[in-house]
Structure 1
Amino acid sequence: MPHFAPFTAGSRRSRWGAAALAVLALGMAGCSGSASSSATAGGLDDGLGSRAENRTVDFFTYYDPSADAFWKQILTGAEDAASLTGLKIEAQTASGDTGKMTDLISAAIAKKPAAIVVSFNDPSWESAACEASKAGIPVFAYNVPPSETAADCVVSFVGQDFRAVGSIIGQSLVDQVDIGSGDKVLCPAEEPDQQYAIQRGGGVDDVLKKLGTKCTFLRTSGDDGQALDAMTTWLTANQDVKAIVPLGGTPHRNAVAAQDAAGVKVPIIGFDTSPQVVDGIKSGRILASADQQGYVQGFQPVLEVAQLIDFGISPADMNSGGNGLITKDNVSNLEDPDLEGIRY
């Protein structure tokens, strides 16, 4: 995991904006062959952020960024990319309501934004997304991809390879904890039947089944209070659990508190970052976390919108990374106050 140099307070946006412009300039230079550096700079100055007249992007989050640290990372990335490229972000959240997400997308079609950026945590709004695509509005996916049925309705996807990282988490768990046949491993998730949980849990199970056991899935919802209650109740009734593998940010940031409430203390290893997870790693209560790097999931699709509408550059799928685990050895990289909202 790279080392992050400390930022000057209040300077994140200006420094990141300058760095991102430098990266864009290098990228354009790489595409321009023998074009001079001055011509490349002129291309950026005269095009990116000004060429297309319609610069409104409807950016939809499934969970509320004001209440969820991970989704705040996503929105921060989107806002930074919009600021850099001269796009206007219209951000709205479904607050975990599938019907509301469908309504938000349907309402956006009538407004004709330059693009729609949306996660596909549930397939219930795929039809609305495909209607937007049919109306000529590019649909960019992030965080969770659409099902195969709706895959042709999106122009790109930015997110983590959930199953691969699930296997990394599972292997790290068995490397550090003595788990045998029939042992209980709790795998709580906001919504166990959604693709992120199915794939992450599947990756963990790929490792556990070799030892003769598997995940016990538990629905927590995306509400912190409900997640704490659900895990506390389960742990109180299952004191012989050997480990907890939270499959989402909500159960992960409440796992230590649930153990304390239930009088249980077993290893925790999971997904996503938050202040509670950072504290848990520092204290040793949490072994590690796989950070899917939400900032990238917000920043990259919005950047791709600008590249598409200004330069005609085709959108591309992108693995947002997060294959390296955050552990006690490197968690200090996330402690800089200027990285709040970006890395935790």
Structure 2
Amino acid sequence: MLHFMETDRFFVAQSAVHILKLEAQILEIQNSLSTLREAKSLAEQRLRSYIYPILSLPIEITTEIFLYSLPPYPDPAPLSGRHSPTRLSHVCRHWRAIALRTPQLWRAMKIFGDTLQEVKKAGVLAPLWLARSGHQPLSLDTVDSLNPPLSSALLEHRERWEHLALSRRGWHLLKAAGFMPMLHSLKLRYLGSPSLKSSRNVPRLRTVLLDACMVENLPWSQLTSLTLRFRATEECRSILRQTAQLVDCSLYPWDRDVPRSDTADVMLLCLERLTLEPGGHFDDDFVSSLVTPSLVKLELSEIILSVRYPGPIGWLKTFVAKSGCTLQELHIRQSVLPAHAYHDAFPRIPMIAVEPRGSR
């Protein structure tokens, strides 16, 4: 009996000691938990107060970064995707606020749609861009996606059009535009033969590109830059006679063996840069008829000259002497002659670039 009582007292004493140890461990763990909770709270506080370095930049600098991330104006940006300002507005609320109050981000847009879904998407996004662009001049590049609602939205802002590029079925936009007081450049591709209502509708127009199309009533006399592609030589000649202020010209005639009714010289007194694009069909008289006393840069393919007597270099010497120009740059493409032949023939031209035939 006494033995059992002694055993019980020992068990109780041992249990009490064990409980005290457990309580001490619990207290230690509770203290550790308290320390961890304090550390967690402090970490959360630091996290909440942390500002990403990019978000700490002044708004003016962030705005400049946004502008530099886009193609330089007037080159257009797509309405959506990697190179669109729309993507910048999706990063965070801070960036979105900056993007939406920066009208320069939304002033140059490329509108395209090969599918019905893309056309519908353009019809939603383009009006948003127009609204966000505020009163900024606009640069528009459209390809086959101008449904009536979108056309109407664009036409509402025609007084802000500064650079306009239309392709294929976009001719009706030009026809309906009327007065475009800010239009500086016009690029038309594969539009057939649309016409302006009046040349007085574009008082500031200076740059024109016509690719496989022709436009009536253009104010040729006020242009300083002109590109004509896939037009008859006679049309090119007739137009060039009206371009008294032309400084930059690129030509790609497209006809052969057509009788020439006009072979008189074409005086281009202000022309400084002339490009005769490779592949064009240049008759013997057309290029020779150009008189360009202010020309400083000439770019052409040797094949254009190879059929002319007395050969490419002889023809170039005659052309330069006739115009009385002082060339600073000569760029010969698809050349059979070695580069030194041109350097030897024209030692006074500071910059001569010769690309051998087959180099590209």
* TM over 0.5, shorter chain: no
TM-score (normalizing by structure 1): 0.29
TM-score, normalised via structure 2 length: 0.28
> Which is greater in Rg?
2
Higher helix share: 1
Bigger relative contact order, structure 1 or 2 (CA pairs below 8 A, ≥6 apart): 1
